[in-house]
């Protein structure tokens, strides 16, 4: 499996939640949604030029009105993403950290889902 294959697999799995999925640029978000960040590449010690795994942050993004109370995120959006990723890919979500994501002049609450995928 290549990095591109893994990224596509993650995006396809998240689309099963019927929420919008963005790759790369997060302009014009329509939350609740998911944004896939750039992958961190992991190489085996004696690897050739191909990575053996990726770690990617999946941003589970809520509405701006949820900024002070992100309960809707950890009650529905986060569990949906975790289930979709772990049931439909070889990836594993290892951590969910609250945060925010900015797009232009707007800021949205989110959970940063650290997701590890072997290649």
At 37-74, the pLDDT tens digits run 999 999 988 767 889 999 999 999 988 776 665 677 78
Q: 117 or 106: which carries more pLDDT confidence? A: 117
| Per-residue burial over 19-35, b = 16 or more CB atoms within 10 Å of its CB, e = otherwise | bebbeeebeebebbbbb
For 96-110, what is the mean pLDDT?
88
Q: What does pLDDT average to over the chain?
A: 89
Instruction: Give the residue numbers spanning the domain of 68.
Output: 3-118
> How many separate domains does the chain show?
1
Helices (H), the chain: 3-15, 71-72, 78-88
Report the CATH number that the domain containing residue 81 is assigned in CATH.
3.30.2000
How confident is the model at residue 33, as a pLDDT? 94
pLDDT surpasses 90 at 103 = no
Most confident of 24-38, 58-72, 77-91, 96-110: 77-91
């Amino acid at each position: 499996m290549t990095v591109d294959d893994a990224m596509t697999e993650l995006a396809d799995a998240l689309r099963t939640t019927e929420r919008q999925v963005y790759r790369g640029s997060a302009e014009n978000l329509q939350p609740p949604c998911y944004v896939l960040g750039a992958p961190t590449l992991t190489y085996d010690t004696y690897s050739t030029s191909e990575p053996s795994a990726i770690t990617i942050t999946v941003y589970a993004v809520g509405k701006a009105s949820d900024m002070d109370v992100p309960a809707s995120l950890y009650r529905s959006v986060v569990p949906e993403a975790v289930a979709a990723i772990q049931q439909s890919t070889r990836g594993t979500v290892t951590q969910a950290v609250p945060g925010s994501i900015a797009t232009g002049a707007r800021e949205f609450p989110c959970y940063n889902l650290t997701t590890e995928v072997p290649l």
